[in-house]
Amino acid sequence: MALVRKSALYWDVETTYATDDDADGSDYLHVPANSIGPVVDSRTPLEQNYFNSRDNPSQWIPGPDGWALDVEIPIIGLPVVADDDEDPGTTSPVDWFDALLLHLFGSQTEINGAAIVSATNNGIVLDADLYAVADLMPVWETALPAAAPCDRSQWAEVTVRNSASDYDVAPNWTVNPSSSGQAKGSRFYRRTDNGGSTLSLAVVEDDVTKTLSGGRCSAASLTIPAGGAISMSLTFRGDGIVTSGKGSLATAGNAPAVTPLIGTHSPIWFGGTNYPSSEVTIDLGINAAVQPSTAGCFGRGGDDSISMSPVYTMKPLRTEAIRTLQRSATTGKVLCQLGQGALGSSILNTMAIASTLGQVSEAPLEDESGRWRNAVTIRAVDPGATGHLIQASRA
C-alpha cells in the first residue's frame, strides 16, 4: 500500500539546464516541506492523423517529457548568526532555502555584522561602513526583551548614507538601538534579468524516488498569518523525469534545523505607516518562459524567469485614511518584516522583504467576524535607476 505521508523533497542547483549534476544525490539538500503534491507527468501523446483509405483514427506517438509539482515550505532565517566583523556564512548555497532564493532572484550579496555606536529614532552609526542606500539592515538589541519583548530585532531600509558608517533609515526604530546592540550579518537576494540557475528536484513517493530535471519555479507566494506559521507556496515545472534510487540522499529530519518563522512582530510598513494586519500575503508575480529548442532533449533549451510583478496584500482594520490610499493611488516604500528574530541557539532567525516603491491599486472591504477590514493591494512599481522592485534579506 502506497502512503501519501511517506514522501520527501530534495533539490540541487543545476550547472547546465536539465542536467543532473549529482547521480547519487549526496549533494542534494533536504527540503522540510509542509506539503508535497504528486508529481504531475506532463508527457502527452502527439496526435497523428494518417490517410490510410480507412475511416479510422491513427495511432498517436509519445510526446516529449515534462513535469509539474506544487509544494509548500516554511520560511526560515539564516542557519548561523553573524556578529560584529563576522560574515553570514561562506558557503553558497548556505542551506536549502538559500538555494531556492538564489533560484528565484538570481543574485546574492553578503553583509557582515557590525557593532552599533549610536542611534536616533531614524538614524544609526555603526563601527564599520557596510551599507549602501536601499540596503536592508537587521538590528538586534542585547538589552531586550526585558524592556520591549517584541522588539528584539528590527528591520529598516537605509535611505541616506551621510558619511562612512552613518546612515538614515526608514521606518523609524520602534525602540532606539543602543551601543550594546548590533547590525547582524545578512544575505541579500535581488533580481537578475533571467533569475537564477534551474534546479534538479528529487521527490520520494513512498518507495519510489523520481529525479526531476530542468526545474523552474513559475509561481511563488508567501502567506503571513497573525500568530501562525509563515509559509511559501511554490509551483515548479521542468524538463524530464527519471526514476532512480539516489542512494546517498540525506536523511530527512523531523523538522527544519532552524525554527520556522511565525507571524508575530511581522508588521508591514507602507508610505511611513505601520499597518497591523490579520494577514499579509506577498505574491512574487513570477513570469517564466521556456526556451523552445529543436536541439533540446525534449524540445526545450532552457527555462528563464523573465520578470517579476510583486503584489503585497494586507488586511488592516478599515479606516477612511485607507480608503484615501486607494482613491489617490498612493505610492510609497514597502517593507515587511518576517518574524521577531528572538536569538536562540546562536541563530537570529528573521527576514525582511521590501520594495522601493509600491502603489495602492485597490482596497475592498471584507467582513471579518463582524469587523470591517480593507484588503489593501499594493503592487510594486518601477523604482527608478537606484531602487529595487523587490529584494529579500535573511539574518
How far apart (Å, rounded) are the C-alpha atoms in residues 347 and 335? 22
Label each residue of 261-297 as H, E or C.
CECCCCCEEECCEEECCCEEEEECCEEEEEEECCCCC
At 152 the pLDDT is: 72
Instruction: Residue 90: count other Cβ atoms within 10 Å of its Cβ.
Output: 7
Within the chain, what is the greatest distance between any pair of CA atoms?
89
Contact yes or no for 320/291 (Cβ under 8 A): no
Residue 360 is classified by DSSP as E
Contact yes or no for 213/18 (Cβ under 8 A): yes
Q: How many CA atoms lie within 13 A of 356 on its CB side?
A: 14
At 255 the pLDDT is: 77
At 156 the pLDDT is: 96
**What's the burial of 387, exposed, middle or buried (CB within 10 Å: 0-12/13-18/19+)?**
middle
How far apart (Å, rounded) are the C-alpha atoms in residues 306 and 286? 8
At 257 the pLDDT is: 82
At 147 the pLDDT is: 52
Per-residue pLDDT 10s for the chain (395 aa) are 566 678 999 999 999 999 999 999 999 999 999 999 999 999 989 999 999 899 999 999 999 999 999 999 999 999 988 999 999 987 889 999 999 999 999 999 999 999 999 999 999 999 999 999 999 999 988 765 555 555 578 999 999 999 889 999 999 998 888 898 899 999 999 998 888 999 999 999 888 999 999 999 999 999 999 999 999 999 999 999 999 879 999 988 777 888 899 998 888 999 999 999 999 999 999 999 999 999 999 999 999 999 999 999 999 999 999 989 999 999 999 999 998 876 655 788 999 999 999 999 999 999 988 999 999 999 999 999 889 999 999 99
At 254 the pLDDT is: 77
At 207 the pLDDT is: 84
3-class DSSP state for residue 380?
Answer: strand
Cα angle 199-201-202, degrees, rounded to a multiple of 5? 155
Grid coordinates 547519487 are at which residue? Answer: 24
At 232 the pLDDT is: 98
How far apart (Å, rounded) are the C-alpha atoms in residues 22 and 26? 7
The type of residue at 74 is P
How far apart (Å, rounded) are the C-alpha atoms in residues 155 and 241? 42
3-class DSSP state for residue 116?
Answer: strand
In angstroms, what is the C-alpha Rg of the chain? 23
Query: Which of these, 180, 186, 185, 184, lies nearest to 118 by C-alpha position?
Result: 180
At 241 the pLDDT is: 96
Helix, strand, coil percent content, the chain, rounded in steps of 5: 5, 45, 50
How far apart (Å, rounded) are the C-alpha atoms in residues 52 and 56? 8
